[in-house]
Chains A and B, each alone.
Chain A
Amino acid sequence: MSKLQIKNLHVEVEGKEILKGVNLELNTNEFHVIMGPNGTGKSTLVSTIMGHYKYKVTEGEILLDGQDVLKMSVDERSRKGLFLAMQYPSEIEGVTNSDFIKTALHARMDKNEKFSLIKYIKTFEKATEDLKMRLDLPHRYVNVGFSGGEKKRNEILQMKMLKPKFALLDEIDSGLDVDALKIVGENVNMMKSNDFGALIITHYERLLDYLSIDKVHILMQGKIVISGGMELITKIDKEGYEFIKEELGLEEEQEENKRGIIGTCAVKGSLGDRNA
């Protein structure tokens, strides 16, 4: 069993605080869902856990089995067992999916460990079959020319092959049609075990039909404001997020006064500011 702990996490982007004290604990063999209105910091949370360069942690801790994740480089986090399935995966020309995953597996191996190519090919073929991916997709450059849905399936293919302890799934259901949603949902659910847990960000209930969810967290205004079970999702589906605001007495956040894009371009002074 493994444990991922997030303690009082504060994160800012370009000087603006997005996460304002997030606390969360996730064990393997658990699936947690994070929901919340747009712009409340859901993607910020998972990107920060993975170590994205844009996000600056100003306070708090992230621990993986007691080890300080914030001190680890991005690749080290991956090798220690974290995996981020991205909302907008990069397109990498010049390396095929198959070679890419092979390189990533090599990076995880001990120096004396032997790599079995036959075993790799069999596992790879089984995973692509499970995900009902087009036969040529694994042999094409990573995500190049893939549709939105194909890219998402490709993220899950990588996850299946790399076998992380914790997967962070950032809106993995967006861009998927009904059939693909079922395939992806079932494949993620199949992985649930004492060696695997997931933190799932979604806006839609449909993906959750295929996953056995243990806990639901609502992230609003940079904090987890309420946690519960699936009944929370049913209520949000009916009433939106307004009832939470009312119950908890949350006030609307005021947007900072910003110059419009047209103004910024048109005013000479603004250009000076930007270039300063």
Chain B
Amino acid sequence: MTEMPNQVKMKQLVDFKSNFLNLSNIDIKKNQTKVVVNKVLTEDNIKINLDENATLTYITFDEGKNEHAYNYFTANLQKNATLKIYNVITTSFHHNIKGMVYLNNIGASVEIINLLLGTKNAQINSDIDIYHYQANTNSNLTNYAIAKDFANVLLNNNATIKKFASSSVAHQQTKGLTISKDAKIKALPNLYIDEYDVIAGHACAIGSINKDDLFYLMSRGLSEAEASKIVVMGYVRPILDHIVDQELKQTIEQVFANKLLNE
């Protein structure tokens, strides 16, 4: 794990446990801003605590080297704290994401983006539960999922807005792309609302490559292979916009391009 005051100063990424043996807590103090990158995903449940006005960007990256990878986290956010979680997963094995986020105080906000690529016989499960306990809390959960070969991706998204959490906002989006006829993506979006004055919604689109998109790109002179590459990588690039570190960004792009286009 690497902890740094901000993304701009981040020079080198090291594995999760290289610096902090057995660290399973990430505590961000009042008014602090940190970026944490986790590349060694074990069964440990990472406990994330954000004090008032604290900001954390937590990036996980699984290149799919382990047969079983676990991505567990439980986050507690205090007043006006901001948590951004970017899970970048590509595997041909098993990967489980289990995340619980508690927005415990006014103005707390969480953004989660999952980029999930399953190849061969991969089984990727993502269970994310977000709880809005107080007013003016925000959550935004987005999944970009791609399934190749015989891969299976299951997305279980839950947001709960409790009584008295008025003026809260909860959004869920899933964009899924199946590249073979045997690949499967299933999304289960759930919103549990116990307050009137809130904004909540979910959107989901899962399918194969859109023929009209291919036609559009080809009508500008791009070959079918080039056009398909652009459409597929379109699922990968949005998450890269959130990662400031150029080295990590390039690695992710290369790994995904290689797995999507060459393997």
A78 with B219: CB separation less than 8 A: yes
| Cβ-closest chain A residue relative to B223 | A75
Partner of A75, one of B212, B218, B231: B218
Provide the A36-77 mask, 1 if CB < 8 A to any CB of B, else 0: 000000000000001111000000000000000000011101
Q: Across the interface, which residues of A come within 8 angstroms of B231, CB to CB? A: 92, 94
State in angstroms the CA–CA spacing of A107 and B217 once bound together. 11
State in angstroms the CA–CA spacing of A158 and B217 once bound together. 11
Q: Across the interface, which residues of B come within 8 angstroms of A92, CB to CB? A: 213, 216-217, 230-231, 234
In the assembled complex, the CB of B177 is this many whole angstroms from the nearest CB of chain A, namely 11
Provide the B209-235 mask, 1 if CB < 8 A to any CB of A, else 0: 011110111111111101100110111
Does A104 reach chain B (CB closer than 8 Å)?
yes
Give the interface residue-count category, chain B: 20 to 34
A90 with B216: CB separation less than 8 A: yes
A78 with B211: CB separation less than 8 A: no
Q: Across the interface, which residues of A come within 8 angstroms of B219, CB to CB? A: 50-51, 74-75, 77-78, 83-84, 86
Does B238 reach chain A (CB closer than 8 Å)?
yes
Given the interface pairs A94-B234, A95-B237, the reply to whether A162 lies near B211 with Cβ below 8 Å is: no
Given the interface pairs A93-B237, A94-B235, A94-B236, the reply to whether A104 lies near B230 with Cβ below 8 Å is: no
State in angstroms the CA–CA spacing of A85 and B218 once bound together. 13
In the assembled complex, the CB of B146 is this many whole angstroms from the nearest CB of chain A, namely 12
B238 with A53: CB separation less than 8 A: no
A90 with B210: CB separation less than 8 A: yes
Given the interface pairs A92-B230, A92-B231, A95-B234, the reply to whether A104 lies near B212 with Cβ below 8 Å is: no
Q: Across the interface, which residues of A come within 8 angstroms of B210, CB to CB? A: 90
In the assembled complex, the CB of B176 is this many whole angstroms from the nearest CB of chain A, namely 13
B215 with A52: CB separation less than 8 A: yes
| Cβ-closest chain A residue relative to B225 | A75
Partner of A94, one of B221, B222, B227, B238: B238
Chain B stretch 170-193: residues in CB contact (< 8 A) with chain A: none
A53 with B211: CB separation less than 8 A: yes
A86 with B235: CB separation less than 8 A: no
In the assembled complex, the CB of B260 is this many whole angstroms from the nearest CB of chain A, namely 12
Q: Across the interface, which residues of A come within 8 angstroms of B223, CB to CB? A: 75, 107
| Cβ-closest chain B residue relative to A101 | B220
State in angstroms the CA–CA spacing of A78 and B231 once bound together. 19
B220 with A78: CB separation less than 8 A: yes
In the assembled complex, the CB of B227 is this many whole angstroms from the nearest CB of chain A, namely 8
Q: Across the interface, which residues of A come within 8 angstroms of B237, CB to CB? A: 93-95
In the assembled complex, the CB of B19 is this many whole angstroms from the nearest CB of chain A, namely 33
In the assembled complex, the CB of B199 is this many whole angstroms from the nearest CB of chain A, namely 19
Q: Across the interface, which residues of B come within 8 angstroms of A101, CB to CB? A: 220
Does A192 reach chain B (CB closer than 8 Å)?
no
In the assembled complex, the CB of B238 is this many whole angstroms from the nearest CB of chain A, namely 6
Can you name 9 A-B pairs with beta carbons within 8 Å?
A74-B219, A75-B219, A75-B222, A78-B220, A89-B216, A90-B215, A94-B230, A103-B230, A141-B234
Binding site for B on A (CB under 8 A): 50-53, 73-75, 77-79, 83-84, 86, 89-90, 92-95, 100-101, 103-104, 107-108, 141, 158, 162
Binding site for A on B (CB under 8 A): 210-213, 215-224, 226-227, 230-231, 233-238
